[in-house]
Chain A
Amino acid sequence: MSSSLRWFIGLVVTAAAPLTFAAEVALLNVSYDVARDFYKDYNPLFQKFWKAKTGESIAIKQSHAGSTKQVRAVADGLEADVVTMNQATDVDFLADKGMVAKDWTRKFPGNASPYTSTMVLIVRKGNPKAIKDWSDLARPGIQVILPHPKNTGNGRYSYLAAWGYALKQPGGNDKTAQEFVGKILRNAPLFAAGGRDATTTFMQRKIGDVLATFECEAELIAREFGRGEFEVVYPTLSVLTEFPVAIVDPVVDRKGTRKHATAYLEYLWSREGQENAAQNYLRPRDAEVLKKHAAQFPSIRTFTVEEVFGGWSRAFPAHFKDGGSFDRIYAAK
């Protein structure tokens, strides 16, 4: 064979070589910061399930950061097949940009949230300041630790929980709620940079009398700092926090992974997925699994953001955008 023919054949074989490999399907799951442990446990479960069901190997990559930064990255071109967030506002942002279906809440059961959590109060061992409810956070002399209520999802949920609590008191309206929440904010010596920073400030630096955070954080605190170091106080009324998931349409259509992405998210509602949620101290939607783990999930009266505030699309501009109630509280000082 002439050398140029050999060269040509070699080139064709090399170019065709990648096509001969079974192309492994890869999904990118763009998620919020503290979901690391959850997906570290969940992904192998799904991979096993998918392999058993279709014989196909599937690779799942995770990306974790602050939820708002993540959706901005997805809107700017990060090739996420699915997004799994901790606030509806972030998924709504993608829906506005056309990256997620406008009716994403109806694509999966339970408002597209496979598990829920709620906001609880963490106090020192023995509860020396006798903190029982949100009203105790507004007492003079109590120091409240929470992450920045305007900038962090964790903080925003606590803010709305306290606001909703005040609305439900006799004679409660937006004005009294704003005063009440204002009192709580004034009892905060600082605003932590994030949920974990708030936990560190409360537990390690021993600042503050009470920490308002997600119920699932309580388990983390127990594992990190020891169960004897703190107590969890369940308020009489709290907000139900939801963790919406959605498929990013342009990406799955381009990559041809819609079937895989849909199955990946649907599996969150399966028995294994719900068990995994319970293991990570997130309240599963499945009533049976929830009952099985009733010991770690005391019953608590909760309201949803939809019920009290008309959904995040109303609550967010009303409270957390510039000019909203948070800014008004500080302007009035």
Chain B
Amino acid sequence: MSRRSDVLPGFRLGLGYTLAYLSLLVLIPLGGLLLAGASMTADQFWTIATDPRALASYRVTFGASLAAAAINALFGFIVAWVLVRYAFPGKRLIDSLVDLPFALPTAVAGITLATLYSSNGWIGQFLEPLGIKIAFTPLGIVVALTFISLPFVVRTVQPVIEDIETEAEEAAASLGASRWQTFVRIIFPAVFPALLTGFTLAFARAIGEFGSVIFIAGNMPMISEITPLLIISKLDQYDTPGATVLAVVMLVISFLLLLAINALQWWSVHRYQGEPGELGPPRPVAATTGAAA
């Protein structure tokens, strides 16, 4: 294919700008962070990074973030599906409500959730007699993280669902596929990469969350303490190198997890589709399915 003339100014300028922008915003600050942590010896680094309270906080932070991202992946998908496929009164209102967690300051969200779910709150007063304690427990952390990361999944998956051709579903139905088969073979593979992207974004947002979690978490060491709080705690002691140790650990774990998710996404794209970006009809699953499209 011959190269069309680009609308934006050429490759070199584009690349130069990209590198400069990414460096300023991402690489240099991260590099500064790593440098600040480099002032420690490997021994000191390891001691701080594997302190029992730090280990407990990684479990809480990453565990709650993964749980929140997973819950959002499931229910965010359903919300996106409903918003795309159905028409009902108030649809636009609900559609804009999805963006509310983006707009709300995180501290406001945190205080609101803490008030709602505490034992005399609107929701908490019904749950506590049942023995379900949400506020000031790790469960509360999951609730807060689910709230603030909801829009990521919905907004990432919505355009992809819009793009799925309903003709493909009709063709599948006419070929005798049940609703479940249509979903698993046709709809889900098309949506899966976007769903993974949404999951990744939700997870990334949830790990760093501080303002909305701090009010509902309870902050008990070893039980409901999140890593960002430990980092702030170290900064409050004027221990900047110690804080960077924890920050670097979070960075490394996040990077590994994101790498794994990206690999999964790459695999799924190549398994179910041709080149990335092509949302064509899926390859035939069995050669014996003779009726050709």
Residues of A whose CB lies within 8 Å of any CB of B are 66, 68, 72, 93, 148, 150-151, 188-193, 197, 200-201, 204-207, 316, 320-322, 327, 330-331, 333
Contact = CB atoms under 8 A, between A and B. Distances in A.
Contacts, number: 61
Interface string B108-134: 000100110011110000000000000
Contact of B115 (A93, A188, A192, A205): A205
Given A205-B119, A207-B119, A333 B222 contact: yes
B219 A321 contact: no
A151 B214 contact: no
Given A191-B220, A197-B215, A330-B53, A205 B238 contact: no
A327 B120 contact: no
Nearest to A204: B115
B278 interface: no
B100 interface: no
Most buried by B among A93, A150, A190, A331: A190
Interface string B236-247: 111100100000
B237 A321 contact: yes
Given A151-B232, A151-B233, A93 B238 contact: yes
B136 to A, nearest CB: 4
Contact of B234 (A66, A93, A322): A322
B63 interface: no
Contacts of A190: 136, 217-220, 224
B221 interface: yes
B242 A205 contact: no
Given A200-B111, A321-B239, 6 more contacts: A189-B218, A191-B218, A193-B219, A205-B121, A207-B118, A322-B234
B242 A322 contact: yes
A182 B159 CA distance: 54
20 contacts: A66-B236, A72-B235, A150-B233, A189-B218, A190-B217, A190-B218, A191-B218, A191-B220, A192-B219, A197-B215, A200-B111, A201-B118, A205-B114, A206-B119, A206-B120, A207-B119, A316-B237, A322-B51, A322-B237, A330-B221
6 interchain residue pairs of minimum CB distance: A190-B218, A191-B219, A190-B136, A205-B118, A330-B221, A193-B214
Interface string B272-286: 000000000000000
A146 to B, nearest CB: 11
Nearest to B240: A72
B53 A151 contact: no
Contacts of B14: none
Contacts of A200: 111
B32 interface: no
A297 to B, nearest CB: 31
Interface in B190-242: 214-215, 217-222, 224, 229, 232-239, 242
Contacts of A197: 215
Given A204-B115, A205-B119, A320 B237 contact: yes
B105 interface: no
B29 interface: no
A151 B231 CA distance: 11
B241 to A, nearest CB: 12
A80 to B, nearest CB: 18
